[in-house]
Each structure stands twice: as structure tokens, then as C-alpha cells.
């Protein structure tokens, strides 16, 4: 099978210096993964931060409180944009570190927490390749391959919603069962038996 739209992309990684396939840019918000850009050509991912932030504001009415991004997104242009928009960009501070060691330690802990949060994006790519066939795109044409990739992310969000609905139904069923049990026998629900009435203190 020939896929003429696939181009080699030099990544410079230790395991694979050159990769083949689509280059995608996603964001994860509240556990849901959203596909923002898909390209078969090499480009700088740092260009995607501002459009994604503007898209978030368009959908939610305000900018995100913080952005936990990879190092390639940490450039001067994105720093200035986040500073003007009031967004906390997860990155090391420029210039000399503060003399106060407590401030330095707090900043390091904050960066570590943001890095753990950003790992959720890497988890989306990993599960997408293992469970949703992102590494097995067999479509011959570029449009068909892009559709397959988009459908994978659509299924991810659909399964996330299904899991949340299942948890909601289980919670509702548990509440209903507790109310029915309380209505049927309130003494047993509160742990009160005929023998326990004799143990209760009596005041005159």
C-alpha cells in the first residue's frame, strides 16, 4: 500500500530519530482529549499554543488558569501571550532565581506538579496507540487517514462519557437503595434494636 502523503519527520529522539505519520496537536481538559491540528508535514508545535488558548476562551468564555505544556511550547512569544492573558504557563522562570530559598522550593514543587499533570497528555497518546489503533492507520489517502485519526479521538471521548454515566448510575442506585432501606426499617438503618433501647440512658 502506498501512502504518498506520509513524509519523514526528524524528531531527534533516542529510540527513533525519524518518524513517519501524522503530526497532531491535542489538548486535555477535564480528562477529555481534543484534537486541534493534524498535519503530514513537519512544523513547530510551539505555534499551536496561542490558537488553542483562544479556542478554549471561545468555548468556555475565559482563558485557562494554567497551561502545562512541553518544552517546545515554552518560547518568548508564548510567554508574553500567557502573561498578558493572565495564564500561568508551566515553565522555569527567566533570569536569576530569587534569593529566598522558600520561593525557589515552592516554584520547584509547582513545576513538578504541573509535569505530573502534563503526563496525562502522554497517557492519551499511549492509550490511543494501544487501544484505539492510532499506530495502525491503514487508509491510503490523506483525507481517509485524517478521518480515522479523528474518529479515534471521538471514540476516546465517547468512552469517557460512558464511564462517567456508569458511575453516575451506580451512585444513584446506591442512594435509592439506602433511602428504601431507611424507609422500610429506620431502626435497623440507624443500628437501633429492641435490646439497645434498654441500654439508652433515661433522664427524668
**Domain CATH code at residue 15:** 3.30.420.10
Which range has the worst mean pLDDT, 81-90, 98-107, 145-154? Answer: 98-107
Contact 111, 92 (CB under 8 A): yes
| Same domain as 110, residue 133 | yes
Which residue is listed with cell 462519557? 161
Which range has the worst mean pLDDT, 101-115, 138-152, 169-183? Answer: 101-115
| Same domain as 183, residue 130 | no
Instruction: Pull the grid cell for residue 146.
Output: 485524517
* pLDDT for residue 187 is more than 70: no
Three-state secondary-structure class, residue 42: coil
156 located within any domain: yes
The per-residue pLDDT for range 29-70, each reduced to its tens digit, is: 888 888 888 988 878 888 889 999 998 899 888 898 888 888
Each as own residue / partner, the long-range contacts of residues 169-178 (CB below 8 Å, 24 or more positions apart, any chain) are: none
Residue 158 belongs to what domain range? Answer: 8-162
CA atoms of 56 and 52, how far apart (whole Å): 6
How many domains are there within the chain?
A: 2
* pLDDT for residue 118 is more than 50: yes
Contact 16, 4 (CB under 8 A): no
Amino acid at each position: 500500500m502506498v501512502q504518498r502523503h506520509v513524509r519523514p519527520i526528524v524528531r531527534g529522539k533516542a529510540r527513533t530519530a525519524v518518524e513517519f505519520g501524522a503530526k497532531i496537536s491535542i489538548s486535555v481538559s477535564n480528562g477529555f482529549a481534543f484534537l486541534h491540528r493534524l498535519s503530514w508535514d513537519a512544523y513547530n508545535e510551539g505555534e499551536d499554543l496561542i490558537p488553542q488558548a483562544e479556542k478554549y476562551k471561545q468555548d468556555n468564555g475565559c482563558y485557562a488558569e494554567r497551561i502545562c505544556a512541553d518544552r517546545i511550547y515554552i518560547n518568548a512569544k508564548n510567554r508574553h501571550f500567557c502573561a498578558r492573558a493572565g495564564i500561568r504557563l508551566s515553565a522555569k522562570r527567566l533570569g536569576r532565581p530569587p534569593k529566598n530559598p522558600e520561593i525557589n522550593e515552592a516554584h520547584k514543587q509547582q513545576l513538578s506538579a504541573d509535569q505530573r499533570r502534563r503526563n496525562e497528555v502522554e497517557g492519551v497518546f499511549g492509550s490511543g496507540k494501544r487501544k484505539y489503533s492510532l499506530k495502525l492507520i491503514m487508509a491510503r489517502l490523506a483525507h481517509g487517514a485524517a478521518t480515522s485519526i479523528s474518529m479515534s479521538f471521538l471514540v476516546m471521548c465517547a468512552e469517557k462519557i460512558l464511564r462517567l454515566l456508569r458511575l453516575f448510575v451506580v451512585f444513584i442506585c446506591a442512594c435509592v437503595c439506602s433511602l428504601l432501606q431507611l424507609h422500610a426499617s429506620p431502626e435497623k438503618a440507624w443500628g437501633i434494636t429492641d435490646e439497645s433501647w434498654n441500654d439508652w440512658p433515661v433522664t427524668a
